[in-house]
Structure 1
């Protein structure tokens, strides 16, 4: 089916989902991403899709017919997934975790060359760049500390990663979690807001990745941040992903979930630790 054919008007221009159509979208999203849409997300789905549908001169019912026939072109499938997934993020989210990273874990791991850190589901880059700022702050506050890091940020949404790679953020985005001191120290004025300085940007690389896919090609890590994303998965998929994350951690490596998340029982490769008011998990040897 050509893009031109896809963009034809359907004659039915309603922009409200029936319950059947909402269920079809839920099944599509789960099949391709593992994300579970709750029953109360119907209005959210409608609002996120409305602009997307109008930009392609089509309707909910037409999209649903393509989904059911599995004839939605790949580029539109990608846009639909990106419209439905959450890219909510801000600087130094769960600030105590970053304080622990900067003041305790980076010095503890400094003998490793390099320290490899993975920020999973990093959205527009604030999390991996917050980690990069912590590295520079650790070096600044402890002269002589030799910390070498490689930070990988991954996300399902290619459009979010494009923003991350540019590292340009608006006044509003930099105001969310970023102190004036850190903004002044690590950002430069840009026509579209503020751009992160090269010394932080070069610590981070980005790669598109679906958490349902294999992690094997990523290698092993000393630290993994996988925060505020597993809450969108079914319990079964959540456990599977956590088991695969544990496999990628080096012995005595660290896993950070969000402050509101915890491991399901029975994951024997990881042990919980509470230090300095922060709960995290350590890979057993």
Structure 2
């Protein structure tokens, strides 16, 4: 009997319901293998007999290391430096110049920051803009990185990456300019880049009211895991978090999920950004 077919159907259904309620991820019927490979190995670690018992414990303990570990295991934390390139170029070449006269600090939110590559890429792009426009953005730039995963946020806060990580989209020039070598295989982001960023845990199903207002939001490659109604809800609440005319970047395969009345689509050639109406 294969590991996938050995999953009790009722236990799998309960786990799907838990995952959807906990973090909005919709797990299709054909994704049993993800539970088999990512979650079942945790059973012995936490001393539970089967998937059904695990779900019962997860529902009983709303906040626990077990819950964090399970959500970590089921969250895809695929990330790159300067992913898709164009959002960072548009930020440098168009958006930041538009905000040079802002009386308040420019606020940028990386809404699914994973292990920190996106907010650090944003901070590097800001620095590159300031190198070409010294004295601009006098009120400063604040970057907020949020994520569901406690373990990913811990990595992001350390801002330390191994060779395999830095090779995923980080040029040798930027590595030399913005990172300090720890040893032959590890680098740490320079304080001048890392200190611009604050991190906090956030489930995108929760309220964003305490985050403040933003000039730019990066919410990329996370909406693909949610159903249509939750996507629409998240995009609506992000709109309320944006300053008038603020910019939203989505992933290359993501769209507005029925929220086109809230945003104007702007072609960047290449790529697309969305301005809050």
TM-score (norm 1): 0.89
Other-structure match for 1:5: none
| CA pair 262-53 structure 1, distance change in 2 beyond 3 A | same
For structure 1, the 5+ residue unaligned runs are 1-13
2 CA distance for matches of 1:131 and 1:28? 34
Per mean C-alpha deviation after superposition, the further-off stretch among 71-80 and 275-284 is 71-80
Q: 3-state DSSP class of the match of 1:74?
A: coil
- Once the two structures are superposed, residues 25-56 of structure 1 have per-residue CA deviations (whole angstroms, 9 ceiling, x without a partner) of 11000011111012221111211113322323
Matched, 1:145 2:110: no
Per mean C-alpha deviation after superposition, the further-off stretch among 184-193 and 83-92 is 184-193
Matched, 1:23 2:16: no
1 CA distance for matches of 2:97 and 2:85? 18
The answer as to whether partners of 2:232 and 2:259 remain within 8 angstroms in 1 is no
Matched, 1:135 2:126: yes
Other-structure match for 2:232: 239
Other-structure match for 1:7: none
| CA pair 73-222 structure 1, distance change in 2 beyond 3 A | closer
| CA pair 256-109 structure 1, distance change in 2 beyond 3 A | same
Identify the match of residue 182 of structure 2 among 190, 204, 207. Answer: 190
| Residues 34-113 of structure 1 aligned to structure 2 (within 5 Å) | 34-61=24-51, 63-64=53-54, 66-67=56-57, 70-72=59-61, 74-75=63-64, 76-112=66-102, 113=104
Question: What is the CA distance between 1:63 and its match in structure 2?
Answer: 3.1
1 CA distance for matches of 2:237 and 2:51? 38
TM-score (norm 2): 0.91
1 CA distance for matches of 2:55 and 2:35? 17
| CA pair 171-236 structure 1, distance change in 2 beyond 3 A | same
- Once the two structures are superposed, residues 149-202 of structure 1 have per-residue CA deviations (whole angstroms, 9 ceiling, x without a partner) of 100000111111011000001100110011111011101112461100000001
Question: What is the CA distance between 1:109 and its match in structure 2?
Answer: 1.3
Other-structure match for 1:176: 168
The answer as to whether partners of 1:28 and 1:67 remain within 8 angstroms in 2 is no
2 CA distance for matches of 1:135 and 1:73? 39
Identify the match of residue 249 of structure 1 among 212, 221, 242. Answer: 242
2 CA distance for matches of 1:169 and 1:133? 16
The answer as to whether partners of 1:17 and 1:60 remain within 8 angstroms in 2 is no
For structure 2, the 5+ residue unaligned runs are none
CA RMSD of aligned residues (A): 1.9
2 CA distance for matches of 1:144 and 1:71? 54
The answer as to whether partners of 2:16 and 2:27 remain within 8 angstroms in 1 is yes
| CA pair 107-58 structure 1, distance change in 2 beyond 3 A | same
2 CA distance for matches of 1:37 and 1:136? 40
2 CA distance for matches of 1:208 and 1:65? 22
The answer as to whether partners of 1:121 and 1:153 remain within 8 angstroms in 2 is yes
